[in-house]
Structure 1
Amino acid sequence: MLINADGYTYCHEHLHIDLSLQKGDIDCRLDQYELLRDEMHDLIHAGVYNIIEVTNSFMGRNPQFIENLIRDTGINVVLSTGYYIDGFFPTPLYSQSAQTICKEMVREIVVGINGSHLKASVIGEIGSSENRFTDTEQKVFKAAAMAHYETGRPISTHQSMSTMGRHQIELLKGYSVDMEKVTIGHCDLKDNLDDILWLLDQGCFVQFDTIGKNSYYPDTKRVAMLKALSEYGLLERVMLSMDITRRSHLKQNGGLGFCYLIDTFIPMLRNNGISQKEIDAMLKHAPYSLFG
C-alpha cells in the first residue's frame, strides 16, 4: 500500500524543488529543511498523512532530502518520475526517443531513484505549455503512456494556467491509456467549468491543486466551481492540493503554509454546503483510488 488510508492526501506538492535558475529568482528554490520539517509535523497533526510529491528529474528533485523528511516526521511521501514542460527540459531530452525516455521512467519506478532508497510510484508531473503543446512535451506524454503500460502506475499532468487539458486527454486516449489512471493537474486557475465537466466525462480525475494562490485565481471562485461540481455529484473524482513551490509560500516566511488548505479552505467549503462526505472523497478516497 502506497498511501496511508487513515489520513488525508495532498495530491500535488513539492517538498524540494529548484526552478531558481530558469526563473531567475532564489525564492523558487524550496529547500529550507527545518521549516518544511515543522510544516510536515503540523500537517500530520491536522490529519494529512500523505503527500504526492511531483518534483521529477531536472526540477531540483532531492530524494535524500525527502528521505530525511520521512524519517524525521513520519509523513508518507509518494515520489514521481518524468519531465516537466518545455523550458525546464535537459538538453539531451530533445534528441532522445520516447522509448529512451520511457526506459528511464521505468527504471526509477522498478529499480529506484539514484542516490536514495526510494522508488517513484507516479508518472508526473508531465505537462504542456500555456495554450500550446510542443513536440517534445508530446513525446514525453508518449513515453509516459509507454511507462504506464509497463508498470501500471498512474499519470499526473500539469496544465499551464488551466489550458490544454482536453489535448492532454485526447493524446493519452490515442495511446489507449486507462482514463481511471490519469489525473489532470491545475484545473483551478480560470473560469473553465465546461472544460472540467468534459474532462470528468472522459473518466479521469481532476485536481484543484493551487488552493491559496489567490493572485492567480481567487479561492472564492474555486469554492464556487467545487460547489457546482457538487451539484452535479462529481466530487468523488476531484482531488485537492496547494502546489507549494516557493520559500515565500511557507508559513514562517510569511506565506499561507501547507495547513491553509485544512485550516482555512475546508471551512470555506463547509460554509458553502460541501458535506464532510464530499471533503473525505476529495482528500481521502479519490487519492487512495488513484495512487494507492
Structure 2
Amino acid sequence: MLKEGITYMHEHTTIDLSRLKKIDDTNLNCYDETVAEYKKMYSKGVRNIVDVTNLDMCRNPLYVQRVAKETGINIVQATGFYQEKFLPELVTTATIDQLAAFMINEIQVGIEETEIKAQIIGEIGTSQNQMTKREEKVFKASVIAQQATGVPITTHTTLGTFGHEQVGFFKDNQADLNKIVIGHVDLTGDVDYILHMLDQGVYVEFDTIGKENYQPDSLRIAMLKEIEKRGYSDKVFLSMDITRKSNLEYMGGMGYSYLLDTFIPQALEKGVSQDFITKMLEQNPHEFMNRK
C-alpha cells in the first residue's frame, strides 16, 4: 500500500467545508498550488500521503488521483463519513449494515463511480465531548467494514476530546485496535490523556503540527519526548491536517513542508531522538497501513 519513504498520515489534498464555515478559505481547491507543494515534499523524501477526505467533505477522488500522478506521491484515499455537522442524509436514512456495505463497496470495488479503491476508513468523527446518535451509527458501521475488509480506521476527535470514549467504543465492539488511530490527540495538550489511549493498544496522531493557535509546537514536542520516554515510539504518527488555502505557501501560510523544515529540527534540538522521528514518519505508517 505504501511506498518506502516519509508518510503524512492525515491530510486533505482537496476539501470543501465552506458550506458550513461560510468562507472560501475552507474550500481547498487550488490544484496548481497544491501540486507545487506536493512536488516540494517529494524532493524532501515524502512518498505517501493518507488523504482522509470523505463523502461529507466534498471529496473529489479523480482530482486527488491527478495530483498523485503529477507529483509521484502515492495518495491513499478514504471511505467513510465525518462528524455530526457534516453528515449527509444517507447516515440518517440508511441502516448501520447499509452504511457498512457502502464502505465495503468503496474498499473492494471503488469510490463513487471510479475504480479508485479506498484503503482506509475515516476520518470518522465525534463531536466535542460527545458521540451523537448518527456518529454512533457511523462508528458501528466502520467496525463492521473493518472486520469485513481488514482496512484500518482513522478518527477525528473534536479539539482532542472524547478520545478515551472512542477507544472504549472500539474495544466494546471488538474492533482490531492495532488497526485504529485516534486523531488530533495533540490538541488535548495532556500527555497523560494520550498515554492512557496508548495503554489500550491504539495508535495516536500528532496531526495538527504547526497550528499554534490551538497548541504551541513546543508543547507537542514536550509530549512527544514523554511518550518516547514511556516506550510508545511505535504507536505515533505525524501530520499537519491542512484544510485551508491560507495554510499554503502561496498565501503566506506555513505550507506542507513546515513539518519537515521547521518542526522536526525543533524536535531534534529539544531532545526527541532521530530514531523516534524516523519511526513516526516512516516505519510506523508502513506497519499500520500494510498490516494484514
**TM-score band, normalised by shorter chain:** over 0.9
CA offsets, 1:125-159, max 9 Å, x none?
00100111101101100000000011000000000
Identify the structure with the greater helix proportion.
2
Q: Partner of 1:215 in structure 2?
A: 213
Q: List aligned pairs for 1:153-168, cutoff 5 A.
A: 153-168=151-166
TM-score normalised by L of structure 1: 0.98
TM-score normalised by L of structure 2: 0.98
Shift of residue 95 of structure 1? 2.5
How many Å separate the matches in 2 of 1:131 and 1:67?
A: 35
Shift of residue 116 of structure 1? 2.9
Shift of residue 280 of structure 1? 0.6
Unaligned runs of 5+ in 1: none
Report the AA paired with residue 110 of structure 2: G
Preserved CA contact (<8 Å) 2:221 2:272: no
Q: Partner of 1:86 in structure 2?
A: 84
Shift of residue 117 of structure 1? 3.0
Unaligned runs of 5+ in 2: none
**Percent identity over paired residues:** 43
Q: Partner of 1:59 in structure 2?
A: 57
Q: Would you say 1:175 and 2:173 are equivalent positions?
A: yes
Q: How many matched pairs? A: 290
Preserved CA contact (<8 Å) 2:210 2:254: yes
Q: List aligned pairs for 1:254-269, cutoff 5 A.
A: 254-269=252-267
Q: Partner of 2:289 in structure 1?
A: 291
Of residues 87-96 and 31-40 in structure 1, the stretch that sits farther from structure 2 once superposed is 87-96
Q: List aligned pairs for 1:1-292, cutoff 5 A.
A: 2-5=1-4, 7-292=5-290
How many Å separate the matches in 2 of 1:37 and 1:11?
A: 18
CA offsets, 1:160-214, max 9 Å, x none?
0000011111111111111101000000113221111111011110000000100
How many Å separate the matches in 2 of 1:135 and 1:222?
A: 32
Partner secondary structure for residue 120 of structure 1:
coil
Shift of residue 114 of structure 1? 2.0
Preserved CA contact (<8 Å) 1:70 1:77: yes
Shift of residue 228 of structure 1? 1.0
Preserved CA contact (<8 Å) 2:91 2:137: no
Partner secondary structure for residue 136 of structure 1:
helix
Report the AA paired with residue 167 of structure 2: I
RMSD between aligned alpha carbons? 0.8
Of residues 82-91 and 114-123 in structure 1, the stretch that sits farther from structure 2 once superposed is 114-123
Preserved CA contact (<8 Å) 2:56 2:86: yes
Partner secondary structure for residue 86 of structure 2:
coil
Preserved CA contact (<8 Å) 1:180 1:204: yes
Partner secondary structure for residue 213 of structure 1:
coil
Report the AA paired with residue 74 of structure 1: G
